[in-house]
Structure 1
Amino acid sequence: MESLCHKVLLSIDIWPGNMDLLEKMILKQLKSMLFVDGKPLSQSFAINRYLARKYGLAGKDDFEAAQIDAIADFHKDVYAELAVYLYAKLGYREGDPATLRQAFLESADKLFPTYVKLLKESGSGFFAKSGVSWADFLIANYLLSIRINEPEALKKYPELEQYVDRIHALPQIKDYVDKRPHIIF
């Protein structure tokens, strides 16, 4: 499989002379973006789903694809609930990390068992019965950031620790992670 993407970080100081790029975007946002045949596609989940269909990571049939989408949408809820503490801890948002930490750990204990249950139900070691999917990359990467920034949250869930290791041991993922710059989130 060829390289799927190149990460480009844009500095805020480029905007004054390049507002036309933003105007070309259908949603008038430049968060996550992919160009396909010169046409822009934005929104990370739309990009994820597009690439998953293109590269066989969307499930073996339409129903499994819908199940994978449901798991990814559940993950959005997990992310939203846990982000308050992580953003405060990393200095991205206001808030007292010491105060928010307990709520974060309680939320993790409420939410992480669902990941464990879904992994067990699939029987494949991944979230889809047919094998690795785009949701696995999304969730494993997020759980890795939890492991880096708040390791205690995963210690009660060895299945999730093993899952993160399993995804990151996939040859192409391992190669990419070994070469990319270190990230904290």
Structure 2
Amino acid sequence: MPNYKLYYFDGRGLAETSRQLFALADVPFEDIRFTREKFMELKPTFPYGQVPVLEVDGVQIPQSVAIARFLAKKFGFAGKTEVEQAIVDGICDQWKDFYVEIKPYYYGKVGVCPPGWEDLEKAKTEVLIPARDKFFGFLKNLLNKNNNGFLVECGITYADLFIVDNMTSLVGWVPEYFEGHPEIEAYYKRVQEFPKLKVWLAKRPNGPI
């Protein structure tokens, strides 16, 4: 079995989907977490000077989505066919579009308010909620089409992990996040209750976002 080391800060962030894939596959890995101060020491050792980085038998793979996609394909959570794999990738790309839309709110919550968006309640009402409604519509269409409780016909994939983990921060900031969208709230809980994922969520370190 390959020797896996995953380098990232002490938080969920951009590495959490990959950590969850290791948990679902029941594959051991070294979960190397560090402070921002320690990162500055390690930065020159990483291919692009950023994290996460996955090391496989001494070879470093950068970029969060590339890492998650690599692990998902290796462990069987990327889709069963090439068409399904493309659909899974597309779902993750669509979330990134959603993230771009909600930046005025998201950045404000992490302390980096874009000019003109200092009022977070206004950003929530005018930016987050409309973008949420549109994105949830996409998710509902996928769930209704597959009728298996997940976003793709083959079952749970890294897209489900990616979407649900990224929802977690928003749910923490906006308790009413699922208001008017019971199907999405049920989906969110369903993914978190997936047996091996549930075990990981219960034992993982509780670092910041």
Same fold (TM over 0.5): yes
- The one of 58, 63, 67 equivalent to 2:83 is 63
TM-score, with length taken from structure 1: 0.87
Deviation at 1:93, TM superposition (A): 4.1
Matches of residues 1-185 of structure 1 in structure 2 within 5 Å? 1-3=25-27, 5-14=29-38, 17-18=41-42, 20-22=44-46, 25=47, 28-94=48-114, 95-96=117-118, 97-102=120-125, 103-182=127-206, 185=209
Equivalent AA in structure 2 for residue 36 of structure 1: V
SS at match of 1:111: helix
Q: CA 1:36–1:112 in structure 2 vs 1: closer, same or farther (change >3 Å)?
A: same
SS at match of 1:41: strand
Cα distance in 2 for partners of 1:50, 1:3 equals 14
Q: CA 1:184–1:148 in structure 2 vs 1: closer, same or farther (change >3 Å)?
A: farther
Alignment check: 8 A CA contact 1:33 1:43 kept: yes
Deviation at 1:144, TM superposition (A): 2.4
Aligned-residue CA RMSD (Å):
2.1
Q: CA 1:18–1:146 in structure 2 vs 1: closer, same or farther (change >3 Å)?
A: closer
Cα distance in 2 for partners of 1:85, 1:73 equals 20
SS at match of 1:29: coil
Alignment check: 8 A CA contact 1:119 1:127 kept: yes
SS at match of 2:60: strand
Deviation at 1:10, TM superposition (A): 2.9
TM-score, with length taken from structure 2: 0.78
Cα distance in 2 for partners of 1:100, 1:37 equals 45
Higher strand share: 2
Alignment check: 8 A CA contact 2:43 2:49 kept: no
Q: CA 1:5–1:30 in structure 2 vs 1: closer, same or farther (change >3 Å)?
A: farther
Deviation at 1:183, TM superposition (A): 5.3
Deviation at 1:43, TM superposition (A): 0.7
Equivalent AA in structure 2 for residue 146 of structure 1: L
SS at match of 2:129: helix
Q: Deviations over 1:120-176 (max 9, x none)?
A: 112211111010101000001112222221132311111111111111101111111
Q: Deviations over 1:11-64 (max 9, x none)?
A: 343366545413xx1xx2322110011111011110111001010001111111
Identity fraction in percent: 29
Q: CA 1:134–1:93 in structure 2 vs 1: closer, same or farther (change >3 Å)?
A: same
Cα distance in 2 for partners of 1:47, 1:162 equals 28
Cα distance in 2 for partners of 1:107, 1:34 equals 32
Unaligned 5+ segments in structure 1 are none
Aligned length: 181
Equivalent AA in structure 1 for residue 157 of structure 2: S
Equivalent AA in structure 2 for residue 32 of structure 1: P
Whose relative contact order is higher, 1 or 2, with alpha carbons under 8 Å and at least 6 apart? 2
Unaligned 5+ segments in structure 2 are 1-24
